[in-house]
Structure 1
């Protein structure tokens, strides 16, 4: 920026040549011209009045002079205002002053006034122009010389009071004084103008500097701020306001403390302000600040603001958003910490090896794997830990990575434990390079696979044993994939089907199976993917000896993902067993037919027996009982006809009649039991209740319990169940000497269950009594029903009779 020169002229040739001093003088002369005019007109009016008092002849010249001077001054003001330069204005004013002096001299000449007053008026003109216009001695000299020349020409027409030498001396002194005053005022004005111009220049420069600073601050991408020593913010630029997400007005006036957040990495604000107040320079400091977008980071460089006296009055600084950098640094620290934690706490060995092959760092797991302390391994070559046979492959892989080949590699290698035994490890190594692409070190992970290697050795040995066992086994053993293609067959399989291993492997075994068995066999194999992952099937296949039955047991072989990859099947020739089973099945079928014939025979016998019981019951009731009653009636008739009778004879006849009646009643009960008519009306439940009530006595407690609703059954079923219950109760009452008999009848799941339990003396079920007629009858009735009958008893333990048979419901009438 070019410094401002108050005397520098404009380079625009179309514009008037002027300087700051000239412009200031022009403004001064124009500003003071009205004052000069008013003062001069007042002076002229005063002298006109003085002259009019002395001589009435002066009224008209005085008025004309005053008017002429007023018009002159008005014209001068107009012309001077249009003049663009101070020289032009000065020339107009000089001419005006000469004209004023000339007009005043003319007035005094006409009035015949004294030379002294005229000189006083002219000196007043000189002094007023010198003082008010500050135009210097040169302009003053022009006015003085021109005016005095006119005054000197008018002296002969004036009167003089003082001597000419004294008058000339006075005029000369006044002239010199006016010249001095004009020059002094001009110099003082010029000095003041220069001071003012310098001040204005400083203000302009300050304003330009402030504007430039503000423009720089407002347009800067960095954050610019100022504040006082108490931490109150006095200025922030737009970039900083935008960073905080609020207007500038919401920040100015608040304190730095309102925005700074305490974080571990954040600098201490109070310490920073105290250091600035003490005049200590501070470096770049990071601060965590609260913004509308959350916690962010700035890096600030602050310095002190000095007052006019050099004292520190505030703080200013520049800051920059370093959130991404701080987050990256924190992420890097966290990553390094995670790496260190992972490195130290990893369950597998981790080793850092330099490009020279020396161990730089190891973790705890690797120390435990090798049996060495960390200090024993650091700085040593990797050869110390590597099995001699695996050193060359390791060097070859590492050298390839250093030459620019694969930057990572995997290798199963052997390590030497401190105690001397071999440790198998799965090495995964990667070459780490710096930002310039230069190799720095290898980071290696070593997983202890010793157990896996031992297991693989054991597996190989097991496979050899398995293959030897399978090959020498007499059963058929085969493996096939999910497409049913054979992948393995043993010698027994080849011998059975009459084909070589080469003819079988890679081909489907399905054509060997008889067509009617293929669908069922495929369905069984499709279910092998669900627990228990096995299937069994007897299949007829074509062999070298013809059709043979083979019992196959298959199971799935799965990979580590649980997917079926193969199926292994073991087969055994069961043709002879199948023939024996077919013969046994035929025998069982014949047995079932025999049992059915026996059941039908028993049912027929039971039906015949029941019909015979019914017929006997009818005969007893209708014939025998009636005949016995007839005998009793004949005896009564005989006793009435033969009278008188001896007392003993009458008593005997009464006893005969009584015995006959008792016999008839017993026969009626027997007839009723032989054909239980209540079954038709009361059903099985009501009939059993009636039977139990009839069997109960003072010596034997008889109870009955029904479980579930007892439906009406077919007549044959109800009769058979009733007869078995009747026989069991009769046996318990007659032979067991039971104190309590319990009858239970249950209907569940379409079957009827009858249980008669007593606490009597019991008997040997396997003895002769088990073949008694009552037991045989009950068994026959159970067989006729297609049910099961059993008797459980032992001497002294009571007896349990149990019947279970189908509950055949009675057809609707």
Structure 2
């Protein structure tokens, strides 16, 4: 044994063996003492000197009872010796006094050691100050965590592998009006509300137990006569060996969030309905105004021109001045009639009454005449697209607004209007090869693009605007055809 060469070093001639043993014991991280029956210290390693602050010579003059004061009691000493000399030895905790008077907490393992027929005790002493400090920190962290859990507004529960409740924080007890004793170690089937909510929660915990993965869901239940929504997440918990030992469930009351979302959706829906109603009223007003201007004012002006013509024809031999005045009046009437027609067209072109494709053809021709660049319409036969009046008008206005933007801002040489009808939907694209723009830098007071998107929403559709500097702009409007399945579903959702 290593200690055999150390215990009585003066009696040994083989100094190399003694030195080798000493080196080996000094490599041990714990302090080592060899104590005889009179509590004299026969040997210490370097770690013991480092631990207590004594030199080896100082240790040789000390009694082990001066280091471990508990051994000064004869009864304690006798019991310690008796237990230490057993084959299995003894392990216990104590405090050793250092050179500076500090009491150092240690864990001591003692075992009997026979040296030439004389009984000794070999003590291996482990400094547990760092361990105690870590345990104290761990206890502090656990205490702090317990404070967080105990005062958390979230519902926190822990279940064992048999779904018995191991812990429920006060929030759970307050929410369901139960005491900890009523749910502690109770099976999950007995500790949760009956019905769909309890079944859903049981499935959530069971899924976590089976899959060993996190699972989450939203549960709706009644509390004090009001509907509440809980977001519940279950996660597995493991021991140090990586074996799952429990399931932690955390529930958060998200009722205010869901209520806010519902209110926000209702507000948006109301805003869209108001905008749609406003747009419909405006279109109806435009239509009526166009009809009045065309039918009433146009008719009156036409009659006036007819009357003036007759007056000129009946004049026997009108003077030159009178003829010139009549000519001026008729020219003014002609101009007025043209203005009335232009205003009527701007308010609502009569070509809309013919359908989408003729309306887009008219828009193309107008743009080619006034827009400053070439406009090309790619569309199917007009009979392939049949829209009701509100849908036709909204789609026409989107294309009209897009072409207006091209004329004002794009500096394009060519713009395409592409109509792609499908069984349930229709897509209209306005694509130009102009200078494009950065969508993130559009002026806040520019309502053209938001107006296009709002019209698309009115159609239960979608408008996307894609553009980049130097790469032109593509406005894509897609919406369900009236009477299609997607249109019906959209109307149903809107009604809900």
Under TM normalisation by the shorter chain, which class is it? 0.5 to 0.7
Give how far 1:537 is off: 6.3
Q: Aligned pair in 2 of structure 1 residues 672, 441: CA closer, same or farther (>3 Å)?
A: same
List per-residue Cα deviations over 1:65-115 (Å, max 9, x = no partner): xxxxxxxxxxxxxxxxxxxxxxxxxxxxxxxxxxxxxxxxxxxxxxxxxxx
Give how far 1:418 is off: 3.0
1:674 to 347, 367, 389: 347
Q: Aligned pair in 2 of structure 1 residues 350, 400: CA closer, same or farther (>3 Å)?
A: same
Q: Distance in 2 between matches of 1:453 and 1:528?
A: 36
Q: Does 1:411 align with 2:79?
A: no
Give how far 1:723 is off: 3.8
List per-residue Cα deviations over 1:381-437 (Å, max 9, x = no partner): 54444353799879856654534x21x654333233333333223445666789x99
DSSP-derived class of the 2:479 partner = coil
Normalising by structure 2, we get a TM-score of 0.54
Q: Note if contact 1:367-1:373 (Cα within 8 Å) is conserved in structure 2.
A: yes
1:351 to 23, 32, 52: 32
Q: Note if contact 1:481-1:567 (Cα within 8 Å) is conserved in structure 2.
A: yes
Q: Aligned pair in 2 of structure 1 residues 383, 449: CA closer, same or farther (>3 Å)?
A: same
Count of residues paired in the alignment: 416
Higher relative contact order (CA 8 A, sep 6+): 2
Match in the other structure for 1:42: none
Q: Does 1:518 align with 2:195?
A: no
1:360 to 38, 43, 47: 43
Q: Does 1:720 align with 2:394?
A: yes
Q: Distance in 1 between matches of 2:227 and 2:194?
A: 10
Q: Aligned pair in 2 of structure 1 residues 514, 387: CA closer, same or farther (>3 Å)?
A: farther
List per-residue Cα deviations over 1:630-656 (Å, max 9, x = no partner): 755765676577576544434333322
Residue pairs, 1:96-175, within 5 angstroms:
none
Q: Note if contact 1:691-1:726 (Cα within 8 Å) is conserved in structure 2.
A: no
Give how far 1:657 is off: 3.0
2:163 to 474, 478, 484: 484
Q: Aligned pair in 2 of structure 1 residues 350, 689: CA closer, same or farther (>3 Å)?
A: farther
Q: Does 1:425 align with 2:106?
A: yes
Give how far 1:468 is off: 9.9
Match in the other structure for 1:247: none
Give how far 1:516 is off: 1.6
Q: Distance in 1 between matches of 2:300 and 2:153?
A: 87
Match in the other structure for 1:655: 328
Q: Note if contact 2:151-2:170 (Cα within 8 Å) is conserved in structure 1.
A: yes
Residue pairs, 1:85-484, within 5 angstroms:
340=23, 348-351=29-32, 353=34, 358=41, 360-364=43-47, 367-373=49-55, 376-377=58-59, 380-386=62-68, 388=70, 399-400=82-83, 402-403=85-86, 405-406=87-88, 409-428=90-109, 442=122, 444=124, 446=126, 448-454=127-133, 456=135, 479-484=158-163
Q: Aligned pair in 2 of structure 1 residues 534, 680: CA closer, same or farther (>3 Å)?
A: closer
- Which ranges of structure 1 fall in alignment gaps of 5 or more residues? 1-332, 697-701, 705-711, 733-738, 790-803
List per-residue Cα deviations over 1:723-756 (Å, max 9, x = no partner): 47868999x9xxxxxx975799999xx999999x
Q: Note if contact 1:481-1:566 (Cα within 8 Å) is conserved in structure 2.
A: yes
Q: Note if contact 1:601-1:784 (Cα within 8 Å) is conserved in structure 2.
A: no
Q: Does 1:507 align with 2:189?
A: no
Q: Aligned pair in 2 of structure 1 residues 614, 562: CA closer, same or farther (>3 Å)?
A: farther
Give how far 1:520 is off: 1.6
Q: Aligned pair in 2 of structure 1 residues 665, 592: CA closer, same or farther (>3 Å)?
A: closer
Q: Note if contact 2:161-2:247 (Cα within 8 Å) is conserved in structure 1.
A: yes
Q: Note if contact 2:149-2:169 (Cα within 8 Å) is conserved in structure 1.
A: yes
- Which ranges of structure 2 fall in alignment gaps of 5 or more residues? 1-15, 376-384, 419-425, 431-436, 464-474, 485-496
Q: Aligned pair in 2 of structure 1 residues 533, 608: CA closer, same or farther (>3 Å)?
A: same
Q: Aligned pair in 2 of structure 1 residues 788, 469: CA closer, same or farther (>3 Å)?
A: closer
Q: Note if contact 2:359-2:396 (Cα within 8 Å) is conserved in structure 1.
A: no
Give how far 1:508 is off: 1.9
Q: Distance in 1 between matches of 2:166 and 2:137?
A: 23
Q: Distance in 1 between matches of 2:176 and 2:80?
A: 52
Q: Distance in 2 between matches of 1:452 and 1:602?
A: 75
Q: Note if contact 1:390-1:413 (Cα within 8 Å) is conserved in structure 2.
A: no
List per-residue Cα deviations over 1:555-597 (Å, max 9, x = no partner): 776544455545567889x8xx97x999999988987887787
Q: Note if contact 2:71-2:77 (Cα within 8 Å) is conserved in structure 1.
A: no
Q: Distance in 1 between matches of 2:167 and 2:217?
A: 19
Give how far 1:521 is off: 0.9
Q: Note if contact 1:688-1:722 (Cα within 8 Å) is conserved in structure 2.
A: no
Match in the other structure for 1:807: 478
Give how far 1:662 is off: 2.3
DSSP-derived class of the 1:484 partner = coil
Q: Distance in 2 between matches of 1:445 and 1:741?
A: 87
DSSP-derived class of the 1:808 partner = strand
Q: Distance in 1 between matches of 2:110 and 2:460?
A: 82
Q: Distance in 2 between matches of 1:669 and 1:339?
A: 114
Q: Distance in 1 between matches of 2:218 and 2:277?
A: 41
DSSP-derived class of the 2:393 partner = helix
Q: Give the number of the structure whose alpha-carbon radius of gyration is greater.
A: 1
Q: Note if contact 2:272-2:458 (Cα within 8 Å) is conserved in structure 1.
A: no
Q: Distance in 2 between matches of 1:546 and 1:625?
A: 67
Q: Note if contact 1:528-1:555 (Cα within 8 Å) is conserved in structure 2.
A: yes
Q: Distance in 2 between matches of 1:751 and 1:433?
A: 99
DSSP-derived class of the 1:420 partner = coil
Q: Distance in 2 between matches of 1:390 and 1:569?
A: 55
Q: Aligned pair in 2 of structure 1 residues 505, 719: CA closer, same or farther (>3 Å)?
A: closer
Q: Distance in 1 between matches of 2:365 and 2:79?
A: 103
Q: Distance in 2 between matches of 1:539 and 1:680?
A: 48
Give how far 1:808 is off: 0.5
Q: Note if contact 1:352-1:443 (Cα within 8 Å) is conserved in structure 2.
A: yes
Give how far 1:720 is off: 2.5
Q: Distance in 2 between matches of 1:686 and 1:644?
A: 46
Q: Note if contact 2:84-2:110 (Cα within 8 Å) is conserved in structure 1.
A: no
Q: Aligned pair in 2 of structure 1 residues 485, 752: CA closer, same or farther (>3 Å)?
A: farther
Q: Distance in 1 between matches of 2:81 and 2:411?
A: 94
Q: Aligned-pair RMSD on alpha carbons?
A: 6.7
DSSP-derived class of the 1:655 partner = helix
Match in the other structure for 2:337: 664
Q: Aligned pair in 2 of structure 1 residues 729, 643: CA closer, same or farther (>3 Å)?
A: farther
Structure that is richer in helix per residue: 1
Give how far 1:514 is off: 1.1
